[in-house]
Each structure stands twice: as C-alpha cells, then as structure tokens.
Structure 1
C-alpha cells in the first residue's frame, strides 16, 4: 500500500477532513472581517519599537460575533479530534499512517479523492453537542 500511496480512506473520514477544511476556512474568513480586538480598544501607534505597530481603534466584537467564533472553534476541535483519532489510523503501521495522514490533509489541494466513496457527497461525522 505504501509503495503507491494509494490509501483507501473511509467515507466518514473523508467527509470529516473536508468539513474540517471548510470550518477552518470559514473561521479564518470571519476572523479577517472582525475588528482586531475582542474588547473595545483605543488606536495603537508605536513606530519607535523594533517592529512598527499601527492599529485603528477597535469597537470590539459583539456577543453574536463572539458566539460565532466560539461555535466555529468548538466544531474545529471536534472535527480535528474525529479525524486524528479515527479508527482507520490504528490499522496502518507508523510510516504508512504518517504518509496517509499527509495525503488526507492535502487531498483538497488537488481536488482528488481516493476510496470508493470519495466525492460521493457522504455526510460528515455526527457528533453530539
């Protein structure tokens, strides 16, 4: 299996990894839109330090924005635990597991999938909470 690195990932693992990428992208986009500080802060200007720092005043995040960030971070953690602790990894010897994990993490980069159910629209992992 390791010679060709053609790993047959279960559909729930593929779905979990894909959702993890989506949640991380959504969280990153949200954080880029939000003010730089969670709490209201005055403008910052320090051009005398070793690294110039200039930021406008921050109105802070609303309760809804804080709740949305928390929800996405919680889901990101659930998915990261699901993917990294999936039973699939216990069936692979160490070096194969490392190569398989790297392959799974970067499958979205190429848009290719492996396994019988890859890209079949499998639903993501079900977690409580």
Structure 2
C-alpha cells in the first residue's frame, strides 16, 4: 500500500457553485434590453407609416359569395426619411438579435448540459430577466 492520502469527498475543497443557466452575464442582459428597446421603437415608427412602402392605388372592398375582403385606400408610399429610419432600425435590430442569439453564454449552457426544454426556458427567461426589459410594470404604474 502507498502512504498517499486518498481523496475524500468530505475533506476535499468545497465544490464550486453549481451552474445556473439563469445567471445571465451583464453584456447579454444589456443586449436583450437593447433588443426590446429597438422592437418598441420599430413598432412606434411602423405605426406612423402608410401601409405601402411604394405608392399604391389601393383596391376596393370586395364581397364574393358571402366572403368579404377588405379594401385598402391609396397609399402615398414612404418618404425617403421614413424609409431610411425603418431600414436603420431593422439593420440594428438584426445585429442585436444576432448578438443575443449567438452569445457565448448559450454555448456555455450547452457545455454544462442544458438542452431541449431547459435551453428554451433559459432563452425565454432572458426576455424577463432583471434589467433586460426597458420598462417594468411598476415603471408604467409609477409613470401613470
């Protein structure tokens, strides 16, 4: 027999804290918050736009055999400024979405054995994580 001590679970150094897929890194939370902000800005901008990017004469309401198809009024199309702002918001939204979706945190989660429904749950939890939402319900209630 050797005189070397045998490792014992009780005498070993304490295990590191177990991996928590919901302890998101700050840069990922910041990116998610930026993503939510951009989505809100895009929705607000879209609400101001005519329904067609290009000028369009529209079409009348149609009723055929009991089915109604609503018409559309004529659209003047978007101005150059409206189109430029939409394109800018969409491009930034794509870039931030890629940053969130391809963040190294998700590779770490996979390496730690997080997969399937647990990975989906972690990705969904990011959308509601502390600091990932530009406004919380309490912020809205306080502002009102």
* Alignment TM-score > 0.5, same fold: yes
Where structure 1 has 5 or more consecutive residues not aligned to the other structure, the ranges are: 120-129
Matched with 2:85 is 68
Matched with 1:43 is 58
Instruction: Identify the match of residue 91 of structure 1 among 87, 108, 120.
Output: 108
Matched with 1:101 is 123
After TM superposition, the runs of 4+ consecutive aligned structure 1 residues lying more than 4 A away are none
Matched with 1:16 is 31
Matched with 2:44 is 29
Matched with 2:139 is none
Aligned mates of 1:100, 1:85 — CA distance in 2: 14
How far apart are 1:48 and its partner, in Å? 2.3
How far apart are 1:51 and its partner, in Å? 4.1
Where structure 2 has 5 or more consecutive residues not aligned to the other structure, the ranges are: 1-17, 133-144
Aligned mates of 2:35, 2:102 — CA distance in 1: 14
Larger Rg: 2
Matched with 1:126 is none
Aligned mates of 1:6, 1:97 — CA distance in 2: 8
How far apart are 1:46 and its partner, in Å? 3.0
